[in-house]
Amino acid sequence: MMAQPDDIEVTVLYLGPLKQRCGGSEERLTVRAETLADVYAAVAARHGLSPTPGPVRAAINAELRPWTARVGAGDVIALLPPVSGG
């Protein structure tokens, strides 16, 4: 994908079952995104995930944030699915 002026490059970390579903533990993406929700939408389209994050949580640079949080170039976005076990 050729970068456009409003595109940013982020690193997305996939944890838990998302690692297998997305084909690895991380990838660098160039996306047109202002919020975590925009990044998730790009990831969902790329990897065939649900279009809504449901119970998945997200962090920007190791800090849990709401889906409305703004993202910037160079941010590290972690997608954290719910875990079970005991």
Q: Is the pTM of this model over 0.85?
A: yes
The mean per-residue pLDDT over the stretch 51-62 comes to 95
pLDDT tens-place string over residues 63-83:
999 999 999 999 999 999 987
Helix H, strand E, coil C: the string for the chain is: CCCCCCCEEEEEEECCHHHHHCCCCEEEEEECCCEHHHHHHHHHHHHCCCCCCCCCEEEECCEEECCCCECCCCCEEEEECCCCCC
Q: Does domain 8-80 sit in CATH 3.20.20.70?
A: no
Q: Where are the domains of the chain?
A: 8-80
Query: Residue 61's pLDDT is what?
Result: 98
